[in-house]
């Protein structure tokens, strides 16, 4: 009699355990990083386009016309776009990597704005170099976002 009771409870215990595994697995997949977000991809591409067009326009005018005054509006407008990108990324849970990359972009943008303002000129060599730096940082941001799992993965 005792043996039958023991077997019965054993079976109940195993079934409960199996049901628990299913319920836990179905209801909460492991989440280590934020899910992929198409809006974030669109923001990255939009802001990068602004940055790259800015550098192309600078490269296409003679160096003596590259005064800070001629480009200040573009600087502030792009700074605002990058700031929004930082804000949106910081608000997403489990998104420290993308958020930090966006902050790096903002820090570098502000630094180069200040340098341009101080010198009131921009060399071809530095322009080409800085354009590449922003390309690499926006690429890193895009790669990070694209690697993120789609909802349910």
From the CB of 8, what's the least distance to another protein, in Å?
A: 15
Phi and psi at 143, nearest 5°, equal -60, -45
CA–CA gap between residue 101 and residue 86 (Å, rounded)? 9
CA R_g for the chain: 26
Q: Which is nearer to another protein, 1 or 32 (CB)?
A: 32
Q: In the chain, at which residue ranges do the beta strands (DSSP E only) sit?
A: none
CB of 55 to another protein, least distance (A): 14
The residue among 1 and 85 lying less far from another protein, judged by its C-beta, is: 85
What residues make contact with another protein under the rule CB under 8 A? 15, 18, 21-22, 25-26, 29-33, 97-98, 100-101, 104-105, 107-108, 111, 115, 123, 125-126, 129-130, 132-133, 136-137, 140-141, 143-145, 147-149, 153
Report the nearest approach of another protein to the CB of residue 150 (Å).
10
CA distance 44 to 89: 11
Q: What does the DSSP 8-state code read for residue 94?
A: T
**Closest CB to another protein among 80 and 147?**
147
Q: Least distance from C-beta 59 to another protein, angstroms? A: 17
Interaxial angle between packed helices 124-147 and 96-119, expressed in degrees from 0 to 180 and rounded to the nearest 10: 170
How far is the CA of 146 from the CAs of 87, 88, 133, in angstroms?
19, 16, 20
- Toward another protein, which CB reaches closer, 49 or 111? 111
């Amino acid at each position: 009699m005792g043996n039958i009771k023991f077997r019965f409870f054993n079976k109940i215990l195993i079934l409960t355990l199996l049901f628990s595994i299913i319920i836990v697995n179905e209801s909460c997949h492991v989440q280590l990083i934020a899910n992929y977000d198409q809006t974030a991809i669109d923001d990255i591409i939009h802001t990068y386009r602004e940055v790259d067009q800015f550098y192309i326009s600078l490269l296409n005018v003679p160096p003596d016309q590259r005064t800070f005054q001629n480009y200040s509006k573009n600087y502030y407008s792009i700074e605002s776009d990058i700031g929004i990108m930082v804000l949106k990324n910081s608000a997403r849970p489990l998104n420290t990597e993308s958020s930090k990359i966006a902050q790096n972009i903002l820090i570098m943008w502000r630094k180069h704005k200040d340098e341009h303002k101080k010198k009131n000129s921009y060399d071809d060599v530095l322009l080409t170099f800085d354009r590449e730096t922003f390309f690499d940082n926006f690429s890193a941001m895009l790669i990070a976002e694209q690697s993120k799992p789609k909802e349910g993965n």
